[in-house]
Amino acid sequence: MEESISKNLELWTIMTLYNVSLLLLLTGLLLHLAGDYRKGLLRSFRINMTKEGLSAVFFIVRDFSLFISFGISLLLINPDMFADVKFPMPFFPLGVIFLGIALIFKMNGKSSEAGLSHKLFFVFLIFSVVVQYFGFVFVAEAAPVGWVEKGYAGDFWLALRNLRSNENPGLSMISFSVSFPFLIVILIVLFLKIFSGSSVAADGNSNMLEK
């Protein structure tokens, strides 16, 4: 009994972390897209201290949500969790790789919003969101077997269900074996950028209030 409760709690925790990582990823993208709205909002404040405080909070939440999402996702990419929980394969690890590449461009330093690094950051971030969101909706939360058996959903949904990590061990191991080396390389590059001191916020956060 206690073992069953412990296992169910473990599965619930893993799924919660997965959902949180996806929510943080979406939050980061939406806040990046809301840049122009933020500028317009700040113009309505006359006190510079208020503007600076709101800008600081905006940038911290916007950027750290992506880094935290990436960190949580790294913890979830392992064969044991793949065997227990319905992660969408290969969409989840592929989306995490895209997010990691986006963060590398994010930390590429001294790039304005019109710069190449910033554009590539946006491209890979959007790729990450699209891939992970598709996997979440159409694989992880695909139509249940009961719906398929009753004719509410066709073979299309049944095929998508087969892309779940806990229902397709072969695909899970291939996805892990291919994605893990890429994630290690991405981690190394990110750490090198952090410890080299060369990383600067991609949109010039040294002056958070743009002219």
Instruction: Check whether 117 has a pLDDT greater than 90.
Output: no
The pLDDT-based confidence of 210 (bands split at 50, 70, 90) is very low
Q: What is the pLDDT of residue 38?
A: 62
Phi, psi for residue 67 in degrees, rounded to 5: -65, -40
Return the percentage of the chain with pLDDT > 70, whole number. 80
Residue pair 138/54 in contact (Cβ under 8 Å)? The answer is no
Using a 10 angstrom Cβ sphere, with 0-12 exposed, 13-18 middle and 19 or more buried, the burial of residue 15 is: middle
Give the Å distances, CA to CA, from 37 to 31, 32, 34: 9, 10, 5
- Alpha-carbon distance of 72 to 21, in angstroms, equals 6
The 10 Å Cβ neighbour count of residue 27 is 16
Tens of pLDDT, residues 125-143: 999 999 999 999 999 988 7
pLDDT (average), residues 135-159: 80
- Alpha-carbon distance of 93 to 182, in angstroms, equals 10
Instruction: Check whether 202 has a pLDDT greater than 70.
Output: no
Tens of pLDDT, residues 18-73: 999 999 999 999 988 887 666 666 666 665 556 677 777 888 888 999 999 999 99
Q: What is the pLDDT of residue 36?
A: 65
User: pTM for this structure?
Assistant: 0.85
